[in-house]
Chain A
């Protein structure tokens, strides 16, 4: 098991461009979470999936953000028409969804919008 994998690790994009991040959870983990973290702050919840179903979305997830998890395996997070305020670390985590088990986080994708 290689843990939660995120790609890319770093992304620099121009304002107005679209970006897509990928997360590969630990195999057999049915829950997958996306968080955003800005400098000096704790991670903030964005959304989570139970298998392929997106069950909760934060108010932070504006219309420009969309997340998918086709077939309940990897997930993608797309940001359309990026803004400078989107610059942050985007973290993915997965868990097996059973009771009180821990979540495992990836190393994150650092997005810089210039």
Chain B
């Protein structure tokens, strides 16, 4: 599975959009981009995933560049409860494990 690169930390103002970047320049054609987050002392929680097209669900939007070498997770209106470590993971279809990197520690401030 391709490796991902994320900034180690970022702050965001409550109520504003949070844009979390992820680089995955070695991604191959059958690999998906997954995002999980982990709130302190809890297990990771799935957010969203995509292959080529942009995706949106009730939690977030995922924007994947046309060359698929990078993506951005957008939390449209960050709340204090969104404070967590966010992991960008690349995994092939029917993959059998998630490979977590260091993630981005997001702190939402009032």
Q: How far is the CA of A107 from the CA of B44 in the complex (A)?
A: 8
By the criterion CB–CB under 8 Å, are B96 and A100 in contact?
A: no
Q: Bin chain B's interface residue count.
A: 20 to 34
By the criterion CB–CB under 8 Å, are A107 and B42 in contact?
A: yes
By the criterion CB–CB under 8 Å, are B43 and A106 in contact?
A: yes
By the criterion CB–CB under 8 Å, are A102 and B97 in contact?
A: no
By the criterion CB–CB under 8 Å, are B42 and A42 in contact?
A: no
By the criterion CB–CB under 8 Å, are A45 and B99 in contact?
A: yes
Q: A74 in the interface, Cβ–Cβ < 8 Å?
A: no
Shortest distance between the CB of B99 and any CB in chain A (Å): 7
Q: How far is the CA of A83 from the CA of B98 in the complex (A)?
A: 26
With A42-B87, A43-B44, A93-B43 as given contacts, are A103 and B98 in contact (CB-CB < 8 Å)? yes
By the criterion CB–CB under 8 Å, are B97 and A91 in contact?
A: no
Q: How far is the CA of A31 from the CA of B97 in the complex (A)?
A: 10
By the criterion CB–CB under 8 Å, are A105 and B97 in contact?
A: no
In the complex, chain A residues whose CB is within 8 Å of the CB of B97: 33, 45, 48, 56
Q: How far is the CA of A100 from the CA of B103 in the complex (A)?
A: 21
With A93-B43, A105-B45 as given contacts, are A42 and B102 in contact (CB-CB < 8 Å)? yes
Shortest distance between the CB of A21 and any CB in chain B (Å): 13
By the criterion CB–CB under 8 Å, are A91 and B44 in contact?
A: yes
In the complex, chain B residues whose CB is within 8 Å of the CB of A31: 96
By the criterion CB–CB under 8 Å, are B44 and A48 in contact?
A: no
User: B residues engaging A (CB < 8 A)?
Assistant: 32, 34, 42-46, 49, 51, 85, 87, 93-94, 96-103
Q: Which 8 residue pairs across A and B have the least CB separation, nearest first?
A: A42-B100, A105-B43, A102-B46, A45-B97, A105-B44, A43-B100, A100-B93, A100-B32
